[in-house]
Amino acid sequence: MGKTLKNIGKGLLWGVGSIIAASAATIAGWIVYSRKFIRHDMRLDEAIDAARKHFQSEHSGHISYYVDESRKGTPLVLIHSINAAPSAYEMKPVFEHFRGKRPVYALDLPGYGFSERTDRLYSPLLYQTAITEFLKAVVGKPADVVALSLSCEFAALSAVHSPENIRSLVMISPTGFNPPPTDKISERANKRGAKHTLYAGLAVPLWNRPIYDLISSRPSIQFFLNKSFEGLVPDHFVDYAYQTAHQPGAQFAPTFFLSGKLFTPAVRKTVYKVLDKPVLVIYDHDPYTNFEMLPMMLRENENWQGARITPTKGLPHWEQPEKTFDVMDDFWSKI
């Protein structure tokens, strides 16, 4: 009996050891493949068929943006979301619709598109500052700002701390309306600094880019973007996301995002509630966030409005563009 148990133990140890060895070999193989066979300097096309210019932000570095100033009026500033492979391309339908009707600007935020992608600290403050400096130095007068997803938090921070630059704020599928966590596990994780630990693990130079290469592979991009569409995501959307994710330094900003370090804690209470600008929230269903606390915000704040555009899954300006633009125009006409 003793011999049998001993043999079983040896067999289990051998099996576990084999699995560990195979896993290590697979990981090592992917790291080598990422470094030698995946291009990280692909040609990057223009996201929007418009003049692309540059702005040197004092605190946020080199910022690229697209602009159409063929008409006068209240400026419109478009800010894409934050994820693994975003860019001004996400805001292309809005830019195309309003160009020629008023001045329109679409940014590539720091770490994305043609903007600076250096290895540095990416934070809500960095993005808030980039938006504020752009509005002040480039736009030069109070603008209507349209932001998408997590970038709504950055735009709101800018509106709270530098209100003179923003006339109104349109939030498309904003983050920050999930109910606050009440379970003890989440509280303990926050106390232990789980975000810092996760970032430290992801940012190790040996595997930082290989991990990002997995996340930004074409099948992965297709999978995650499809979750934001009622139908299939357009092929050209996937193509551009793949291009912009395969640039030098493309992994740095997404690493901060994936570790959760770009979200503002309690943003609904600390930022959204103190906004005194007219705010329109456009939403429906979104696989990456929810709007459970939005009705309360709309009831308690007269300057907030909501418009549900169905059926959409986070990108109403792509799926239901005319409805989205009509809602925006109606909102601005009443300011």
Nearest to 89 by CA among 128, 144, 46: 46
Identify the pLDDT of residue 1. Answer: 54
Cβ atoms 38, 69 nearer than 8 A: no
Spans of the chain, pLDDT less than 50: 5-6, 8-19, 21
What is the three-state SS of the chain? CHHHHHHHHHHHHHHHHHHHHHHHHHHHHHHHHHHHHCCCCCCCCCCCCCEEEEEEECCCEEEEEEEECCCCCCCEEEECCCCCCCCHHHHHHHHHHHCCCCCEEEEECCCCCCCCCCCCCCCHHHHHHHHHHHHHHHHCCCEEEEEECCHHHHHHHHHHHCHHHEEEEEEECCCCCCCCCCCHHHHHHHHCCHHHHHHHHHCCHHHHHHHHHHHCCHHHHHHHHHCCCCCCCCHHHHHHHHHHCCCCCCCHHHHHHHCCCCCCCCHHHHCHHHCCCCEEEEECCCCCCCCCCHHHHHHHCCCEEEEECCCCCCCHHHHCHHHHHHHHHHHHHCC
Identify the pLDDT of residue 35. Answer: 78
Identify the pLDDT of residue 258. Answer: 94
Q: Which pairing describes strands 166-172 and 61-68: parallel, antiparallel, or unpaired?
A: unpaired
Identify the pLDDT of residue 286. Answer: 96
Give yes or no for a cis peptide into 210 (omega within 30° of 0).
Answer: no
Identify the pLDDT of residue 87. Answer: 98
* Helical packing angle, 235-244 and 218-226, nearest 10°: 130
Q: Which domains does the chain have, with CATH numbers?
A: 51-180+262-333 (3.40.50.1820), 185-257 (no CATH)
- Please list, in sequence order, all residues whose beta carbon lies within 8 angstroms of the beta carbon of residue 181, skipping any fewer than 6 positions away: 187
Identify the pLDDT of residue 265. Answer: 93
Identify the pLDDT of residue 209. Answer: 94
Amino acid at 244: T
